[in-house]
Chain A
Amino acid sequence: AQKITQTQPGMFVQEKEAVTLDCTYDTSDPSYGLFWYKQPSSGEMIFLIYQGSYDQQNATEGRYSLNFQKARKSANLVISASQLGDSAMYFCAMRGTQISSGSARQLTFGSGTQLTVLP
């Protein structure tokens, strides 16, 4: 079974500052993928960034970077230079590679972190 834990229900950050959203995971799969999605108040899910468990470097996409610490089973999202438009719900998710257990078939999501960027 896979599990994603996001321990921060809500976070506040000042505009132009950096913020880290925490995510820890648990899986028995030997390889897996980690994802972050953004969900604005309008409701759509927007893919932000992906990290493979065997990737040598931490993933980066523009202002988003993923602080991947495999031994700690953490995959924190770092948003640099926060903007007002970054205010949204952020979800961490993972997918395994085991066909038999079904972990490869679906993304397992955390409960999310509501980020509010203050002007």
Chain B
Amino acid sequence: GAGVSQSPSNKVTEKGKDVELRCDPISGHTALYWYRQRLGQGLEFLIYFQGNSAPDKSGLPSDRFSAERTGESVSTLTIQRTQQEDSAVYLCASSPTTLAANTGELFFGEGSRLTVL
């Protein structure tokens, strides 16, 4: 597709269940980001992938959160043993490059809204 695609768009789960969120970046984009946006708040950085380099996991809030990406393709964000505070919109973004501040913007998907009951 032309843009960043995320699925599911909405997910309702029970506390304690595991969830997987998927992101399909723009073809050819080497950088992929996951952000979390709680209701009415800004975006919190979670994790970043750049090509085949080791991911930057510095934003993951706990060891219940993990993410994978194979090469420059699809990424999966997994949240284990979900808690109510995990309820948020999870946004994925991709970018063709990231090594200079004057490169272009991030291209965002429409997000996956997670509700933990």
Contact = CB atoms under 8 A, between A and B. Distances in A.
Interface of B: 33, 35, 41-43, 45, 48, 50, 56, 58-59, 89, 91, 93, 98-111, 113
Interface residues of A, number: 30
A50 B105 contact: yes
Nearest to A55: B102
Contacts of A29: 101
A37 B116 CA distance: 28
Nearest to A112: B42
Nearest to B102: A52
Contact of B42 (A42, A104, A111): A111
Contact of B93 (A45, A50, A96, A105): A45
B43 A104 contact: no
Nearest to A32: B101
A78 to B, nearest CB: 19
B106 to A, nearest CB: 6
Nearest to B89: A43
A32 B107 CA distance: 19
7 contacts: A44-B110, A47-B105, A53-B101, A104-B101, A106-B56, A106-B59, A109-B35
Nearest to A52: B102
A109 B42 contact: yes
